[in-house]
Structures are given as structure tokens and as C-alpha cells.
Amino acid sequence: MKWTKFRIKTITDAEDIIISTLYDTGLEGAQIEDKVPLTALEKEQMFVDILPEGPEDDGIAYLSFFVEQREDGSLEVGGMPTDEETILARIRQELEELRSFMEIGEGSISVSETEDIDWINNWKQYFHQFYIDDLLVIPSWEEVREEDRGKKILHIDPGTAFGTGMHETTQLCIRQIRKYLTAETELLDVGTGSGILAILALMYGAKHAVGTDLDPCAVEAVAQNREANGIAEESFRMMIGNIITDQEVQAQVGYECYDIVVANILADVLIPLTPVIIHQMKKGGVYITSGIIDTKEQAVREAVEAAGLKILEVTYQGEWVSITAQKPA
């Protein structure tokens, strides 16, 4: 299937009203491109494989609308046949009407053709098996090579949850988990995403793991990855909710239950998380954090120490930082 893409250059302040206006004409499902910084809520929901700060917001936005092409080459809007010129004329008319009472920026329109894309699975072409030290990470859609049989292998499919293991922050956490893990370890993975950290802990001998996440997609991703790696369902308990603010979630997770708490999340989330999560840790428990860009290291250090934890190690990979600390015995 092919689509015709209508891309409008505008300003961020006009995004919502243009989308709403064109929705009324039958153009549904806008793709928004801008440099608006993430809100606190959006940052809170980014729990694994974090990206650095984006470019400075310049106020420019691009809105793209995709119109399905029929077999005869015509376009279809709202179930009715139409053509490119008719759609262009309608968009221009609506934009000019908006411009009469508000600023919409340049308002230029470009048109292009695109093939149908499986947005959920398209990224897989860039994700292939790789090593983290002596651990071989293999995506679920690739086979184990004969020469790799017998090696320590993690089968992973993040689905629409975060966490492939490729990001430096995930690798930093994995190394620290392996260092402090014992056969009696009860582990809590805050922002578990695909479940990669908790599953690896169980593969390396942890007694039990609990994962929390805000994203409901994590439930299915964790279940699939747990099964793919032979982890028993009763070994890994999963729950959805905000452990920072929701006391019910805190109670369900449990107090003073965990030998290791791992949190691979944004520094801006680690800071409010830390004084809360210490209550889930056993005395002498270890707190492993990452997702920390180097410019945020000092802020996280201060939050960790302010919560009464002793910093054991600070490790680095590229521009990313992991801070490992311990609760007093």
C-alpha cells in the first residue's frame, strides 16, 4: 500500500489547532516533528535506554498527514475518493483562514509518496546479536549460530517496551548486577521495560525478581522474554504503576525486601525516586543506578547521599554514568 504525505511547516504554538482543523476535513492522525522539550510526565515514563538532551527548541514544527492511495491512483479521505490538488487546496484554504486570526508560521506544504511501513517492526533491521562482555544477546527473530551454542545467551525482544541491552546505561547496570549478585538475591527492577535486567539477574542465579513500569506494554514484553529465556513465571513478578508517587504500588512491591534495587532511568527521575526507594531496600542493600548523562552525575550523587546511602562505585561508559550505593546495615 502507498500513501501520499502532506507535510506542513508551522510553529509549535499552532500545532494543536491545525491538527484539529484538518481533522474536521478528514485528515486524521498527524505526525508531529518539533524540538519542544519533554515534559516532566514524559520524562517520568522513559525508563530504559535514555537519550541525551535534545536540541534547543526553535519554535518550528512540521505536521505530516498521510492519505491512502487507492488502486486506481486516486486518494481516499473519509472513505471518499479525491485527488492531491483537491486536498492541497483544502489545506491551503484552512491555513489561510487560521492565519487571519493567529500566527501559524510559514505554512508551506510539501507533498511526497511513501510506501506502507510497519512502524512497530521496522527498527528490527538495525538490531542484531551482540556481546556484552561474555554475554551474547540475541534478538528473538535471529537463530543461535552453531559456533555460539554453549555460550551464555540472552534472548530478547523488547516489543514496544524499552530495553534491548545495546545502550551503554543498560550495559553498565548489567556489570554491576553481576558484581553484587548472590544466590539469595531478591532484586527490584524499577522501570523494567523489556525485563532485560531482572531476567539477566535470574539467569545469573538471583533468587527472585520484581519489576515495575509505567508502560502497560512492558507486561507482554516481560512475559515473552521470560519464557524465551526459560525463567519460571513465579520467579519474576511484574506490576504497572508509579512507585514514586503511588503508595499502593509501594506497598505491593514491599518494604525492606530487596538486596538489590536497580533503576536504569533518567537522572531527573532518579532524584525523586531515591528517597522513596530506600524504604524497599533491606539494610545493607545495594542500589544500582544508570540512565545518567555525565552532566547530571553530581545531581544524582547528591540525591543518593542525601537519602543516607553510601556511594560504593561510580562507573562510566561513553558519556553515561552508573552510581552504585549501599544502604547502611
- For residue 66, give Cα distances in angstroms to 2, 29, 70, 85, 122: 10, 8, 13, 15, 18
pLDDT top residue among 160 and 272: 272
Q: What is the pLDDT of residue 234?
A: 95
pLDDT per position as a tens digit, 101-123: 889 999 999 999 876 655 545 55
Hey, what's the cell of 223?
A: 512475559
Hey, what's the cell of 273?
A: 525516586
Strands (E) across 241-319 are located at 258-264, 281-293, 310-317
What phi, psi does 130 have (nearest 5°)? -155, 170
Contact in structure between 211 and 184 (CB atoms under 8 Å) = no
Per the prediction, the chain carries an average pLDDT of 86
Q: What is the pLDDT of residue 312?
A: 97
| pLDDT at residue 289 greater than cutoff 70 | yes
Q: What residue ranges do the domains of the chain occupy?
A: 2-115, 165-326
Residues 6+ apart with CB under 8 A from 202: 208, 209, 231, 235, 236
pLDDT top residue among 14 and 258: 258
Name the burial class of residue 40, with classes exposed (0-12), middle (13-18) and buried (19+) by CB atoms within 10 angstroms of its CB.
exposed
The domain 165-326 having CATH identifier 3.40.50.150: the answer here is yes
Closest among 279, 220, 213 to 241, alpha carbons compared: 213
pLDDT per position as a tens digit, 207-242: 999 999 987 878 888 898 899 889 999 999 999 999
| pLDDT at residue 40 greater than cutoff 70 | no
Name the burial class of residue 8, with classes exposed (0-12), middle (13-18) and buried (19+) by CB atoms within 10 angstroms of its CB.
buried
pTM of the model: 0.65
- Residue 199 pLDDT level (bands cut at 50, 70, 90): very high
Q: In CATH, what number does 2-115 get?
A: 3.30.70
What percent of the chain shows pLDDT beyond 70?
Answer: 88
pLDDT per position as a tens digit, 239-280: 999 999 999 999 999 999 999 999 998 888 899 999 999 999
pLDDT per position as a tens digit, 167-195: 788 889 999 999 999 999 999 999 998 88
Per DSSP, 256 falls in state: S
State the Cα torsion 67-68-74-78 to the nearest 10°: -70
Contact in structure between 300 and 270 (CB atoms under 8 Å) = yes
Instruction: Please give the average per-residue pLDDT across 29-45, as a whole number.
Output: 70
